[in-house]
Amino acid sequence: MNRSFPSRGAWRRVHLGLLAGVSAVLLGACASGPGGVGAPSGAKPPGAAAPARAIGPLVNLRCGKQEIAVRANAEQAELTVGTKRYLLQAQRSASGARYASSAYPGTSYWSRGDSGMLMIDGQAYPECATLAATTPVIAPVEGGPPRDLTVREWVVESIDGRGVVDNSRTTMTFDPAGQIAGRAGCNRYTGSYKLQGARFEVKGVATTRMICVPALMDQETRFLKALDATSTWRLQPDGSLLLTGPDGRKLLAR
């Protein structure tokens, strides 16, 4: 029986093909990195922690004799009481912003503008108040308003110490030319303002004529009265703006 054998050239081509296949497999394994085949060279290993999200500016308060520090946003709050730190989640609230967590039974914080209510392990503390500024930032007697006042839209958090209606938005924008404008809750408003040192005065406020639900209309009326009565202003260390009237009316905005 005659047997035919591959020629020397055919063996050479088979040998080169095997070498190319092995090289491709080795190169693929190296490129995949520690994460496995196909993983991008810059991929994070499984279980790597995501970058921490900034919670919010630090606010220092005193609740009776207890001083606390709070950082909060719309989703969570970091509460520091003495040497203990609590991470609380936002809860439904009729007014203000309330935070609690099942991980800390009996512990919660309820923010109401420049005040708040604290409970630790079931113990309720006296009403919390923002620590007063030691050196208030005020406008110069001459010249325009400070840049800190005019570079942003201020969102009102409390009116006369009461939180605002949920999902409502009351705002103030101060333009360097002396005009004030924003949302009063239901309607938009415009007017003029004047600063001299710590003194603040609003004049000629006019609003649109829309009708909203009674709760929102009541809040709008209280806001406009407090704004009209404002006689002094202050930028506080936590970045909030406090407008105060001689009759005790207050507006707190951030």
CB count, 10 Å around CB of 128?
Answer: 25
Task: Give the closest residue to 128 by CA, choosing from 168, 99, 89.
Answer: 99
In degrees rounded to 5, what are phi and psi of residue 140? -70, 155
In degrees rounded to 5, what are phi and psi of residue 187? -100, 160
pLDDT, tens only, 13-66: 545 555 555 454 444 444 444 444 444 444 444 444 444 445 667 788 888 888
pLDDT band at 8 (very low <50, low <70, confident <90, very high): low
Q: Which residue has the tokens 């360097």?
A: 176
pLDDT, position 197: 85
User: Position 46: which residue type?
Assistant: P
pLDDT, tens only, 187-209: 999 999 998 888 999 999 999 99
- Find out whether 154 and 241 touch, Cβ atoms under 8 Å: yes
Instruction: Tell me the C-alpha distance between 179 and 166, whole Å.
Output: 28
pLDDT at 243 over 90: yes
- Who wins on pLDDT, 14 or 114? 114
Take residue 251 and report the two structure tokens written for it. 């507006």
- Find out whether 192 and 179 touch, Cβ atoms under 8 Å: yes
Please give the domain boundaries of the chain with CATH numbers for all domains.
59-130 (2.40.128.200), 147-253 (2.40.128.270)
Q: Which residues contact 33 (CB under 8 A, 6 or more apart)?
A: 39, 40, 41, 43
Task: Give the closest residue to 155 by CA, choosing from 172, 168, 167.
Answer: 172
- H-assigned helices in the chain: 8-32, 147-150, 214-229
DSSP bridge partners of 162: 159
Task: Give the closest residue to 160 by CA, choosing from 221, 70, 87, 88.
Answer: 221
pLDDT band at 71 (very low <50, low <70, confident <90, very high): confident
Take residue 241 and report the two structure tokens written for it. 């703006």
Instruction: Tell me the C-alpha distance between 128 and 191, whole Å.
Output: 34
Instruction: Tell me the C-alpha distance between 243 and 245, whole Å.
Output: 7
Q: Where are the beta strands (DSSP E) in 121-225?
A: 123-124, 128-130, 153-159, 162-163, 171-174, 179-183, 188-196, 199-207
